[in-house]
Amino acid sequence: MSKSNVVILVLLRALLVGAAGLALLTPAQAQSRIGVTQATQNNPMGQPPGGVDRVLRVGTDVQANEIISTAADDRAHLVFLDGTTLTVGPSSQLTIDKFVYDPTTQKGELAVNATKGVFRVIGGRISKTSAITVTTPAATMGIRGGMAAFSVATGGATITVSLFGVITVTAGGVTQTMTVPGLQVSTSTGGTPGAPTIVTQGSLSAALGALVGNSTATAATVAAIQTLVASNLGNPVTLQALIQAIIVANTATPITTTTTTTTLAVTVVPENPNQTQASPN
Amino acid sequence: MKKLGTFLLLAMVLAGCQSADPVQKASPELQRQYNAAFQEMLKDPGNLDAVMAYAQVATKTGDYEGAVGAYESLLLVDSNLPRVRLELGILYFRLKSYETSRVYLESALASPALPADVRKPAELLLAKMPAQSKSRRT
């Protein structure tokens, strides 16, 4: 057999193997699967690009440029391929504008555009090296190595709550940066972001409350979760020891804060050597 | 000498970038467990055992955000899970996100379904919660 024939055979074999691999994928996977629906309440909707509306069920793939919408009592929790999670509360609408992720380098880009509603982003691998971008009619937010909750009014006015990491809010050429959890920035449509203020327990509780279910799960499901939780989350003795260790670690070094006119910063010693406060961009 | 300085600066920057991701600093075996648990959860997101397994290995790895995301998904299925709320309170405390930790701890303690034997540790953590940092202008 000539050398050229061998090359052709090798290429043909590679082509057949590739085709067989593609045949194993579902149509949705063959398109750009960027994540999956992990939990839902009622009937959150998803509209993939060029596709028709479908109810998001647990296990439904999410694609790039998909539009996610919820009615008054719907909720959805999505997990992306990089580990980022997006919890969408009731009466919300947003689009996954961009998702690019290289599992080898663990780097990529994630951009979300929201027109209304309540939602929370918990950054995964992507946010460790580049900010996740959230755009609303009022502002553009960046989430670096952290977590944030958002409330977007029908007109677009946006409240951004920092839950962890470095969160920026930009509008009208002004950027506010939050590096301390528990702060919020309000931005009216067409305006500039206000200075960070300490979030009140009431508003924080309300925002987080909108992102949990209404206990509509079946009794069997609830029983299964409770059994799972009870058997996995440590006994009271180990919990007591863990909490003591956490308290000691967290109180060993006093927290100091410094504030500039636009930025709040905190210096802390991580309780876990593997866990560090996210660094500003 | 200038090249050495540039190299050291670059090394410091790279080290700073990497330190933000606890998973990359974990041991190879723990990274393997973490990645396997995450892939299992992606493959079967409705499998509560897989969600719990990922949450636990994420906590062990120091990826508290990953663990928070997994536990939050359970609260979407059923919000009346005080033991999960307690776990979230602990995780947010570890992240120094004290106000959020307080919300979860208080809601866990408000539930009569929270087992009596874990109430004391939860109350202790709540009592030791640092006050919200006060800002000062410079």
Tens digit of pLDDT for each residue in A128-153? Answer: 999 999 999 999 999 999 999 999 99
B55 and B32, same structural domain? yes
B90 and B74, same structural domain? no
pLDDT for position A29: 43
Q: What angle do CA A204, A271, A275 make, to 5 degrees?
A: 80
pLDDT for position B23: 87
Rounded Cα distance, B51 and B70, in Å = 6
pLDDT for position B117: 85
Asked whether residue A255 carries a pLDDT value surpassing 90, the answer given is no
Rounded Cα distance, B71 and B87, in Å = 8
Record: contact A36-B42, CB cut-off 8 A: yes
In this prediction, residue B133 has a pLDDT band, given cuts at 50, 70 and 90, of very low
Please identify, among B78, B93, B112, the residue that sits at the C-terminal boundary of a domain.
B78
B35 and B92, same structural domain? no
The answer to whether A145 and B95 are in contact (CB under 8 A) is no
Interface of B with A in 42-61 (CB under 8 A): 42, 44-46, 48-49, 51-52, 56, 61
pLDDT for position A229: 78
B131 and B70, same structural domain? no
Please identify, among B44, B78, B112, the residue that sits at the C-terminal boundary of a domain.
B78
Q: Report, as an integer, the average pLDDT of B40-60.
A: 94
Q: What is the largest CA-CA distance in chain B?
A: 67
Q: Is B27 in CB contact (< 8 Å) with chain A?
A: no
B69 and B33, same structural domain? yes
Question: Residues B21-34: pLDDT tens digits?
Answer: 888 889 999 999 99
SS (H, E, C) A193-258: CCCCEECCHHHHHHHHHCCCCCCCCCHHHHHHHHHHHHHHCCCHHHHHHHHHHHHHHHHCCCCEEE
pLDDT for position A66: 97
Q: Which of A184, A187, A90, A77 is nearest to A122 (CA)?
A: A77
B86 and B111, same structural domain? yes
CB pairs under 8 A between A and B: 232
The answer to whether B86 and B104 are in contact (CB under 8 A) is yes
Q: Quote the minimal CA–CA distance from B3 to chain A in Å.
A: 25
Q: Report, as an integer, the average pLDDT of A42-69.
A: 95
Q: Which of A176, A171, A180 is nearest to A198 (CA)?
A: A180
Q: Domain count of chain B?
A: 2
Write out chain B residues lying below 8 Å of A259, CB-based: 135-138
The answer to whether A147 and A178 are in contact (CB under 8 A) is no
Q: What is the pTM of this model?
A: 0.80
Asked whether residue A189 carries a pLDDT value surpassing 60, the answer given is yes
B63 and B4, same structural domain? yes
- Regarding an ipTM greater than 0.85, the answer is no
Rounded Cα distance, A3 and A5, in Å = 5
Q: Report, as an integer, the average pLDDT of A144-163.
A: 96
Record: contact A212-B42, CB cut-off 8 A: no
B126 and B71, same structural domain? no
Of B41, B78, B103, the CB nearest to A208: B103
The β-bridge relationship of strands A107-122 and A132-135 is parallel
B115 and B63, same structural domain? no
Asked whether residue A222 carries a pLDDT value surpassing 60, the answer given is yes
Identify the burial level of A224 via C-beta atoms within 10 angstroms of its C-beta, where 0-12 means exposed, 13-18 middle and 19 or more buried: middle
In this prediction, residue A251 has a pLDDT band, given cuts at 50, 70 and 90, of low
Rounded Cα distance, B22 and B26, in Å = 6
B135 and B85, same structural domain? yes
Tokens of A158: 């946006």
B93 and B60, same structural domain? no
Of A75, A239, A278, the CB nearest to B20: A278
Tokens of A213: 């279910």
Of A41, A221, A243, the CB nearest to B121: A243
Asked whether residue A254 carries a pLDDT value surpassing 90, the answer given is no
Of A224, A257, A276, the CB nearest to B20: A276
Record: contact B45-A38, CB cut-off 8 A: yes
Q: Quote the minimal CA–CA distance from A139 to chain B in Å.
A: 24
Q: Is B74 in CB contact (< 8 Å) with chain A?
A: yes
B67 and B86, same structural domain? no
Cβ partners under 8 Å of residue B103, min gap 6: A201, A204, A205, A208, B89
The answer to whether A99 and A80 are in contact (CB under 8 A) is yes
Query: Which domain does B40 fall in, by range?
Result: 1-78
Rounded Cα distance, B84 and B105, in Å = 10
Please identify, among B78, B94, B128, the residue that sits at the C-terminal boundary of a domain.
B78
Asked whether residue A247 carries a pLDDT value surpassing 70, the answer given is yes
